[in-house]
Structure 1
Amino acid sequence: MAEAQDVVIVGIGCRFPGANSVHEFWRLLKNGENHVIEVPPDRWNIETFYDADPSTPGKMYVRQGGFIPGYASE
């Protein structure tokens, strides 16, 4: 059997909806914050892609998600 080895995390970088750092993310978790919002109009037109019926082909049946501000898809 292989010997157990220690693991060291040297650094981490991340961005989450409502948090731009690990410290902010930890604060979100501690406070139980929810940053799920309705799809912003600058991301896509929700009315084009939404249908309440989950079996409708080519459509999604959710109107919300977690979005990182300032992200631009090109």
Structure 2
Amino acid sequence: MEANATVVHREPWNKGKIVGQKSPFKVKDIWALRVRLQMEGRVRELALFNLGIDSKLRGCDLIGLKVRDVCHGD
């Protein structure tokens, strides 16, 4: 018996992409993002961005936060 094996060539998902640690934001880039989010009225995204930058939390850690984790008092 002969088995017809078809070989599928797949390209690596990261071929031609920069992988690994990214360079940190520059101060002017941070302020540009803050201003753009504020002008667009994207309050939630601005709050998450500010919290992430100021606390140095990762994105996956920010997503899991609840309001009661951040807000003190009523």
Alignment TM-score, normalising by the size of structure 1: 0.25
Write 1 or 2 for the structure with the bigger share of strand: 1
Question: Higher RCO, 1 or 2 (CA under 8 Å, sep at least 6)?
Answer: 1
Write 1 or 2 for the structure with the bigger share of helix: 2
Q: Which has the larger radius of gyration?
A: 2
